[in-house]
């Protein structure tokens, strides 16, 4: 029986030096694995592609097609960029057995990739497997989650101990597992996927520019009967937010609100999405009121609730207008 074949996808956006460091760590972790790596430059337009390609050629990593550097041609976001690599396949034109996506600021331990591969090989019910992620300071990063719901929207927004205890099994964050176990979804900093599952459920939904794309993908896998497993022994150091700049955000960007709304409408319908937004606003208002009375910092991005309200109102208004236009087109008024 032949060894499973693996394709690793490393997405770069304006971080060429860090991407090359990550690629070096990935190459070491792929030692002994029948696999290849694709570095996808997500239309950086800052010389990243040329710099990465030049270094890969200089170091001889491109021999026998084991490391390829390609351009996405369009920055459609995290999912779209990874889809470019997924669709490229192996250098001989065949499909791999597994696909591994890793962030450009993530550095797998020497055995991290092998442990994910071995886990999926030994666990047919698992469609995806992800790593334990920790920061430069050694502190663990929370990457294990439940699927969002109306209840989780209220719990997260109100941020109140008694409510959180009551809705503990609905909260999106899952306490960092101490051993390998199934979870609803995992962050995509280090995630291995069974190619046969992607062939069945599809790749990343490119409507998501950034955020919620892994949530949606793992949910589709779960609906098809495949688990997403957190593999504690697979360890990856992750700097975090190197490409997105999230740590320096003053306000939550528009695409986060777009992604959140698309996730709820796509997976639960417009009515459910409206209810999720309503309870989030209600919980957020109660949290604001409690912090006002107690004079505590809310710990929420400026104008978050007002932006969420107006964003979703505009989106639903546009959807209603489009619905009316389609109805008018389908049923034209006939003159006398």
Say whether both 110 and 51 belong to one domain. yes
**Distance (Å, whole) CA 292 – CA 295:** 5
In a domain, 199, yes or no: yes
What is residue 329's predicted lDDT score, i.e. its pLDDT? 64
pTM of the predicted protein model: 0.92
The model's confidence at residue 48, banded by pLDDT at 50, 70 and 90, is very high
Say whether both 198 and 63 belong to one domain. yes
Beta bridge partners of 106: 238
In a domain, 273, yes or no: yes
Q: Residue 178 CA to chain centroid, in angstroms?
A: 22
pLDDT of 334 strictly over 60: no
The domain of 207 spans 6-140+176-244
| Residue at which a domain ends, from 193, 213, 244 | 244
The pLDDT tens digits for 54-68 are 999 999 999 888 999
Between the CA atoms of 295, 298, 302 and 305, what dihedral angle is there, to the nearest 10 degrees?
Answer: -110
pLDDT of 333 strictly over 70: no
**Distance (Å, whole) CA 117 – CA 128:** 10
**Distance (Å, whole) CA 32 – CA 1:** 16
What is residue 105's predicted lDDT score, i.e. its pLDDT? 96
The pLDDT tens digits for 113-153 are 999 999 999 999 999 999 999 999 999 999 999 999 999 99
State the CATH number of the domain containing residue 224: 3.90.550.10
In a domain, 150, yes or no: no
In a domain, 189, yes or no: yes
In a domain, 134, yes or no: yes
The conformational region for residue 180 under phi > 0 = left, psi -120 to 50 = alpha, else beta, is beta
In a domain, 158, yes or no: no
pLDDT of 320 strictly over 90: no
Say whether both 227 and 320 belong to one domain. no
What is residue 240's predicted lDDT score, i.e. its pLDDT? 77
Say whether both 100 and 189 belong to one domain. yes
What is the per-residue burial (b if ≥16 Cβ within 10 Å, else e) of 178-190? Answer: eebeebbbbbbbb
SS3 109: coil
pLDDT of 263 strictly over 70: yes
What is residue 331's predicted lDDT score, i.e. its pLDDT? 58
Say whether both 180 and 281 belong to one domain. no
Average pLDDT, the chain: 93
What is residue 336's predicted lDDT score, i.e. its pLDDT? 39
Say whether both 284 and 231 belong to one domain. no
Say whether both 96 and 55 belong to one domain. yes
What is residue 189's predicted lDDT score, i.e. its pLDDT? 95
Say whether both 133 and 278 belong to one domain. no
What is residue 217's predicted lDDT score, i.e. its pLDDT? 98
Say whether both 59 and 32 belong to one domain. yes
Q: What is the mean pLDDT of residues 99-124?
A: 98
The conformational region for residue 222 under phi > 0 = left, psi -120 to 50 = alpha, else beta, is alpha
- Total tally of structural domains belonging to the chain: 2
**% of the chain surpassing 70 pLDDT:** 93
Q: What is the mean pLDDT of residues 190-200?
A: 98
CA atoms within 13 A on the CB side of 69: 23
Q: What is the mean pLDDT of residues 218-229?
A: 98
Q: What is the mean pLDDT of residues 314-331?
A: 76
pLDDT of 335 strictly over 50: no
Say whether both 90 and 223 belong to one domain. yes
| Residue at which a domain ends, from 193, 217, 244 | 244
What is residue 92's predicted lDDT score, i.e. its pLDDT? 94
Say whether both 240 and 280 belong to one domain. no
Say whether both 182 and 302 belong to one domain. no
**Distance (Å, whole) CA 276 – CA 149:** 7
In a domain, 147, yes or no: no
In a domain, 88, yes or no: yes
């Amino acid at each position: 029986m032949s060894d499973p074949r693996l394709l690793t996808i490393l997405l770069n956006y304006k971080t060429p030096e860090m991407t090359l460091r990550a690629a070096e760590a990935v190459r070491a972790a792929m030692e002994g694995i029948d696999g290849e790596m694709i570095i996808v430059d997500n239309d950086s337009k800052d010389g990243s592609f040329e710099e990465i390609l030049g270094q890969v050629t200089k170091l001889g990593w491109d021999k026998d097609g084991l490391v390829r550097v390609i351009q996405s041609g369009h920055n459609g976001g995290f999912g779209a960029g990874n889809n470019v690599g997924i669709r490229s396949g192996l250098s001989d034109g065949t499909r791999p057995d597994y696909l591994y996506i890793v962030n450009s600021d993530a550095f797998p331990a020497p055995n991290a990739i092998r442990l994910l591969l071995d886990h999926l090989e030994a666990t047919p019910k698992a469609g995806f497997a992800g790593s334990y992620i920790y920061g430069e300071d050694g502190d663990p990063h929370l990457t294990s989650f439940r699927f969002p719901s109306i209840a989780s929207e209220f719990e997260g927004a109100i941020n109140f101990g008694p409510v959180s205890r009551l809705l503990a099994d609905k909260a999106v964050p899952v306490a960092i597992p101490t051993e390998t176990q199934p979870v609803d979804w995992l962050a995509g900093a280090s995630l291995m996927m069974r190619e046969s599952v992607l062939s069945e459920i599809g790749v990343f939904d490119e409507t998501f520019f950034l955020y919620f794309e892994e949530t949606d993908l793992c949910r589709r896998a779960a609906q098809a009967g495949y688990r997403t497993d957190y593999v504690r022994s697979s360890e990856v150091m992750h700097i975090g937010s190197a490409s997105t700049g999230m740590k320096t955000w003053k306000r939550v960007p528009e695409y986060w609100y777009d992604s959140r709304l698309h996730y709820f409408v796509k997976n639960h319908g417009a009515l459910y999405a409206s209810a999720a937004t309503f309870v989030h606003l209600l919980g957020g208002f109660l949290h604001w009121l409690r912090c006002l009375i107690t004079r505590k910092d809310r710990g929420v991005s400026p104008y978050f609730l007002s932006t969420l309200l107006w964003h979703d109102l505009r989106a639903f208004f546009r959807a209603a207008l489009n619905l009316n236009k389609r109805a008018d087109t389908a049923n034209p008024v006939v003159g006398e």
